[in-house]
A and B are shown apart, each in its own frame.
Chain A
Amino acid sequence: MILNYALDFAFLCFGLGLAMNLYRVFRAPGVPDRILALDTMVINVLALIVLYGVRTGSGVNFEAALLFAMTGFVSTVAYCKFVLRGDIIE
C-alpha cells in the first residue's frame, strides 16, 4: 500500500526537521533565532500528531493538534513581546 510508504516518508521528513530545529534552539546566534526555532518545532510536532492520527485511524488527535497550534502561537507572541517590551502584559 503506497500510502504507508508515503506516511513513513512524511514521518521521516518531519522528524528530521524537528531534530534540526532542536539543534537550532541550542546553537543560535541570537534570541529571535531561538524563538523562530521553537515556533517551527511547534509546527513540526503538530504535523507529527496529525500523521500519527492518520496512521492509527483515530480522530481524537485533532483537538490536541488544534490546542497545540493555539498554544504555540500564543507562546511565540509572548516571547517576542517580552523581547520587545521587557514585559508581556503591560
Chain B
Amino acid sequence: MDQIVEYFLAALLVIGGVFAIVGSFGLLKLPTTMQRLHAPTKATTIGVGSALISSMLYFWFFEGTLSWHELMITLFLFLTAPITANFIAKAQLHLAVKPEDLPPSGVGTAWATFDPEVESVSPTLIRDRAPD
C-alpha cells in the first residue's frame, strides 16, 4: 500500500513539475502578450495545484497529520488565477489598443478605463504603442 501511494505521489510531483516548466517556458516563448497570458495562468496553476495536493497526501499518509492548508491554497489559487488573468488582459488592452479600436462595451458608455465621466485620476502609464 505504501508503495502504491508513493508511486502516486511521485507521479503527481512529476506531472506538476512538467506543467510548471511548460507554463514558464510559454511565458518566454509565445509571440504576443495575449498569448503569453495563457501559459502561466493555466499551466502553472495546474502544476502548483498538483504539487500542493501531493504535499497534502504525503502528510496524510506518511506523517499521519491531515492538514487542510494545502487544499485552501489550491482553492485560493484556482479562484484568483482567472481574476489575475482578467486584470492583466485589461491592462494590456488599455496600454496597447486605441480606444476607438475596442469593441463596444455593451452598456451604452465607453470602456470604464477610457470614459472621462468615470475617470477621476488620469492614468500615468498610457503610451502610444502599436498592438502586438
Q: How many A-B residue pairs have CB under 8 A?
A: 185
Interface of B is mostly: helix
From B51, B59, B77, B96, A69 is in contact (CB under 8 Å) with B77
Interface residues in A1-43 (C-beta closer than 8 Å to B): 1-3, 5-7, 9-10, 12-14, 16-18, 20-21, 23-24, 29-33, 35-37, 39-40, 43
A21 with B73: CB separation less than 8 A = no
B91 with A32: CB separation less than 8 A: yes
* Chain B contacts for A17, CB-based, 8 A: 20-21, 23-25, 44
How many chain B residues touch A (CB < 8 A): the figure is 63
Could you list which residues of chain A lie within 8 angstroms of chain B, going by C-beta atoms?
1-3, 5-7, 9-10, 12-14, 16-18, 20-21, 23-24, 29-33, 35-37, 39-40, 43-44, 46-47, 50-51, 53-54, 57, 59, 62-63, 65-66, 69-70, 73, 76-77, 80-87, 90
